[in-house]
Chains A and B, each alone.
Chain A
């Protein structure tokens, strides 16, 4: 069958190439979603949506090009590398595992994600980590507006700058920015860096492959002022 993924000799799933020029998206996702082990290379993604979403197995996936919406969404334990840009909602609702975007990420990267690590080598646009619930995110470039909106748990480390309204209505997620912050959102404030924060940032920088030249001392921490958790009439202008 022309569209079937081609496996290496003997059915070994290592170094399997799945080519979207000949296979359908559903066939490619089916092969990835049912694999328990192996290394997969996805060729010709051409911005396809929901690529490598819902992966359950302990597998490595490399996407050779630009991915569309929701790439790596709901990931459980796969390690996914995108050798290109990612569209809206990369790694959205990820549970664990790792997603690495070698290019830029579009809006809502890591939205509502529960765990694991998302690394973006380039920039991320608006609404990074919106409603974050425990995923760790490292962005080596800059991020757009409304990042970490209503973020509940997890860490976001940004080596570049952050756009307007960072951390608006944030709960307990921790934000670390090395560059400039255009503005803080409602109830988001700068907070002191303590040892536990310094060690978190170092651990995440190391995990993202940032060398010792990226110094923890250069980051500032932002988080919730905890004033808007519950409705209070005195704060009505800030909601």
Chain B
């Protein structure tokens, strides 16, 4: 099962409402994924400042101490904000190096995202409770992707929750399961990708990061994914200024999209889109199998 939602705003006046609209969409997909939930929000970005989101694995984490160690290791000042069991580190230094250091040296936390715009938050339990606790409704920004999970491929843990991010400002949510992820993970490791879980979706996220690092656009990376990923999937992908959707060639998992002059939205079911402003006048369609749909914002 699993539920996916995505909202990409074309109209900037809606940006203050991004979190609120995403929370409503996520609420409707609660029944499809009662195990855990997560969301990625592309919010305000300060040029040259990387944000690294992390969540603690156990009951406590000394975020201030972790920030000091990270500062010493990278040689760049680190600012840390704690939100419930999450922390957001900000650095003007090399964000990717900071992410790698955290993965290698901080066993008590899982790194969720790294980039100038994206912030990822996840939890285990009722999606409404998670969204409420992490104040999703108050978040603002240009686009957001959310996921409610019914686990099939790996354990019900925060680390196994979506969205997955392995690269700068890139994130992925997935409904389905991949069958060639173990082999592909080994190949991607040889190309230098870092993994934190045994989850199949993390492999898909790393695959897209690797393709885009190799020069692919988001659309090209997804077209290559059709050749290289085997299994069932509906993907919704976010980049700093882009948003894309891809379904596997037999369209195993459900998907519906809607578009107005103000926004593009994705839902596993129409219910997720039913309360969006202007839905009555929206163009509504079911994305075709093996077809990449992509939008970007200039």
Contact = CB atoms under 8 A, between A and B. Distances in A.
A107 B270 contact: no
A68 B254 contact: no
A182 to B, nearest CB: 12
Interface stretch (B41-49, B159-167, B282-290): B282-290
Contacts of A106: 254, 256, 286
A69 B31 CA distance: 13
Most chain A CB atoms below 10 A, which of B250, B270, B271, B284 = B270
A66 B274 contact: yes
Interface in A103-144: 103-104, 106-107, 125-126, 144
Contacts of B271: 46-49, 68
Nearest to B285: A104
A87 B270 contact: yes
B284 A87 contact: no
A126 B270 contact: no
Interface string B241-271: 0000000001100101000000000000111
Given A104-B286, A126-B289, A145-B289, A47 B270 contact: yes
B217 to A, nearest CB: 27
Chain A interface size band reads 10 to 19
Interface residues of B, number: 16
B275 interface: yes
B24 to A, nearest CB: 12
A126 B286 CA distance: 10
B284 A68 contact: no
B269 A47 contact: yes
A107 B289 contact: no
A47 B258 CA distance: 13
Nearest to B273: A47
Contacts, number: 48
B253 to A, nearest CB: 10
Contacts of B286: 104, 106-107, 125
A88 B254 contact: yes
Contacts of B288: 144
B250 A126 contact: yes
A49 B254 CA distance: 14
A146 B250 CA distance: 9
A77 interface: no
Nearest to B275: A46
A85 interface: yes
A87 B254 CA distance: 9
Interface in A143-163: 144-146
A145 B270 CA distance: 21
A144 B251 contact: yes
Interface in B51-65: none
Most chain B CB atoms below 10 A, which of A46, A68, A104 = A46
B289 A47 contact: no
Interface string A80-104: 0000010110000000000000011
B289 A68 contact: no
B190 to A, nearest CB: 35
Contact of A85 (B251, B254, B275, B284): B284
Nearest to B28: A47
A99 B8 CA distance: 35
A161 to B, nearest CB: 12
Nearest to A126: B251
Most chain B CB atoms below 10 A, which of A66, A103, A107, A146 = A66
Contacts of A87: 254, 256, 269-270
Interface in A27-75: 46-49, 66, 68-69
B289 A85 contact: no
The 8 tightest CB contacts between A and B, nearest first, are A47-B270, A47-B271, A46-B274, A125-B286, A47-B274, A66-B270, A126-B251, A106-B286
Given A46-B274, A49-B271, A68-B270, 6 more contacts: A85-B284, A87-B254, A87-B270, A107-B251, A107-B286, A144-B289
9 contacts: A46-B274, A47-B271, A48-B271, A49-B271, A87-B256, A106-B254, A107-B251, A125-B251, A144-B251
Interface of B: 250-251, 254, 256, 269-275, 284-286, 288-289
